[in-house]
Amino acid sequence: MASADVFAAFVDPLVAAIQRDLRCDSDTARDSAIDAIFEYLGASSSYHPSKGRLSTFLAHITKRRATDRIRARSAEARRKQEFGSVVERRASAPKEEMERAVVARELWHKVELQVWRRRHQARPWCRRSSGVLSVFLNSRVLLLAAIRP
């Protein structure tokens, strides 16, 4: 059979059968029927006339495709719902976000203050040690000056 003849002969009956058997919408039924016909036309060697009629073969493929589409849509809807509930649970009020920002800013200020204090507490020690060193060096210079004529 030519592809146009296969479409003309089988699309509408397959759509009607799938809508009746699976109670799906017309778009799902039509897309599944077209996929089944394309599968048959792409690999017509998979159909064996001795095993059954072409319409039965196409109806079986169409039902499998429609079932897959229905399952995929319900799984997608379930994922969207689960994602929405997770987002709703994790979302916080704007007031809470502002409070967190204020607390974070205060903590950061405390950290900066501690760093500043540590840096400035180290300086007097450096000054003291350098002062001791200068006294030591001056005394050596004075001592050397006294020894040398």
Domain boundaries, the chain: 3-90, 97-149
Asked if the model's pLDDT at residue 105 lies above 80, the reply is: yes
Fold exhibited by the domain 3-90: Rna Polymerase Sigma Factor; Chain: A (1.10.1740)
Residue 32: which of 19, 43, 45 has the closest Cα? 19
Q: Which residue has the higher pLDDT, 31 or 138?
A: 31
- The whole-number average pLDDT for the span 120-146 is 54
How many angstroms separate the CA atoms of 66 and 84, rounded?
27
Per residue in 8-27, is it b (16+ CB within 10 Å) or e — as a string? eebbeebbebbbeebebeee
Answer yes or no: are the C-beta atoms of 35 and 21 closer than 8 Å: no
**Does pLDDT of 16 surpass 50?**
yes
pTM: 0.52
